[in-house]
């Protein structure tokens, strides 16, 4: 049984009020009770142990008011997504913020560009005639016109999932005016 602050104070008062006691040194250590966030954090880490893709990965987990934040580095995007999915299964996790970096072996820009072009050509929210693209050191930069502001975020989210992409800059995309 872990002593509480009240029990420590009770022990102090009991001993101090005993006749003949001249000094008191109370060495009882009171540890704060495990919080719900701490329990969630531990459960996330235990869940990671059951996922083969996450074993032996250095992923840091912090929890604040049920919001789980994942940080660290993995070699593949699938490992980052696996960590996020695993954390979302933990009871009490309100939200999962995935800040895990994918730092696998660098992929040549020309290979990334092929996947970017394929995405842009097959996307229903991008008119390739109105959007220019470039890939430099794994960073995809887009410039041009799109129909809707929400498309900007959807495009960035989709492009970030391409293997080898280290970042996406959509600041050069503007919404067409009517």
Q: Is the pLDDT of residue 148 over 70?
A: yes
Task: Please count the structural domains in the chain.
Answer: 3
Band of pLDDT at residue 177, cut at 50, 70 and 90 = confident
Residues 99-138 pLDDT 10s = 998 876 778 999 999 999 999 999 999 998 999 999 998 8
Whether residues 115 and 171 fall in one domain: yes
Quick one: pLDDT at residue 57? Answer: 83
Whether residues 16 and 56 fall in one domain: no
Q: pTM for the complete prediction?
A: 0.46
Where a domain ends, among 87, 102, 117? 102
Whether residues 153 and 130 fall in one domain: yes
Band of pLDDT at residue 1, cut at 50, 70 and 90 = low
Q: What average pLDDT score do residues 71-91 get?
A: 91
Residues 6-60 pLDDT 10s = 777 777 777 777 787 777 787 877 766 557 999 999 999 999 999 998 888 889 9
Whether residues 13 and 41 fall in one domain: no
Whether residues 49 and 27 fall in one domain: no
Quick one: pLDDT at residue 3? Answer: 63
Residues 63-79 pLDDT 10s = 999 999 999 888 888 89
Quick one: pLDDT at residue 145? Answer: 95
Query: What CATH number is associated with residue 127?
Result: 3.30.1340.30
Where a domain ends, among 44, 72, 102? 102
Whether residues 95 and 113 fall in one domain: no
Quick one: pLDDT at residue 101? Answer: 86
CB neighbourhood size of 144 (10 A): 17
Q: Comparing 140 with 34, which gets the higher pLDDT?
A: 140
Whether residues 141 and 154 fall in one domain: yes
Whether residues 92 and 44 fall in one domain: yes
Whether residues 121 and 90 fall in one domain: no
Whether residues 95 and 45 fall in one domain: yes
Domain that holds residue 10: 1-32
Whether residues 130 and 83 fall in one domain: no
Whether residues 77 and 20 fall in one domain: no
């Amino acid at each position: 049984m872990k002593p509480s602050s009240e029990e420590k104070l009770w022990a102090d008062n009991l001993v101090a009020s005993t006749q003949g006691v001249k000094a008191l040194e109370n060495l009882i250590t009171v540890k704060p009770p495990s919080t719900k966030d701490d329990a969630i954090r531990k459960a996330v880490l235990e869940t990671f142990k059951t996922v083969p893709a996450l074993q032996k990965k250095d992923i840091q987990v912090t929890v604040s008011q049920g919001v789980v934040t994942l940080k660290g580095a993995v070699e593949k995007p699938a490992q980052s997504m696996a960590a996020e999915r695993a954390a979302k299964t933990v009871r009490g996790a309100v939200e999962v913020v995935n800040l895990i970096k994918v730092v696998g072996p660098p992929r040549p820009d020309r290979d990334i560009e092929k996947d970017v072009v394929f995405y842009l050509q097959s996307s229903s929210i991008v008119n390739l005639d109105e959007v220019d693209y470039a890939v430099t050191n794994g960073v995809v930069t887009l410039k041009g016109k799109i129909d809707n502001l929400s498309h900007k975020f959807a495009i960035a989210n989709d492009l970030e999932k391409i293997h080898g992409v280290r970042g996406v800059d959509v600041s050069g995309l503007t919404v067409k005016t009517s």
